[in-house]
Amino acid sequence: MLRRNMSVIMPVIRLVLLSISLSFVIAFAVDQYSLVQDSVRFLCISCLGLGG
């Protein structure tokens, strides 16, 4: 019984999570993609413990 329920519930959980994640990425990529891009190879002197 539980196994049968899981076989119904699991795909639903997957689909819900997939929809939420995908919608987050699609809706916010325009605004936030460049924020992440700006972080890449950004020389954070204090984070890495380097001085000027």
Partner 1 sequence: MGRLRWSTQLIALVLVNLGLVGILETGVVCPFFYCHGCPAAAFGCPIGVLQTQAALGPFPFYVLGSLGLFGLAAGRFWCGWGCPFGTVQDLVVWLRRRRDFVSLPPFAWTRLLVLAGTLVAAWIAIDTLFCKVCPAGSLFGAIPHRFVSPQLSFGTFFYVHIITLVVSLVAFFLIGRFWCRYLCPLGGVLGLFNRVSILKLKLDMDKCTDCGKCLTICPTNIEKVGDIGGSSDCIRCGKCIDACPTDAIRISACLWGPAKLHRKSTVSP
Q: By CB under 8 A, name the binding residues for partner 1.
A: 3, 6-7, 9-11, 13-14, 17-18, 20-29, 31-37, 39-52
Assigned token pair, 6 = 């899981």
- d(Cα 20, Cα 2) in Å, to the nearest integer? 26
Look up residue 37 and give its amino acid: Q
CB of 6 to partner 1, least distance (A): 4
Alpha-carbon distance of 29 to 8, in angstroms, equals 32
**Minimum separation from the CB atom of position 10 to partner 1 (A):** 5
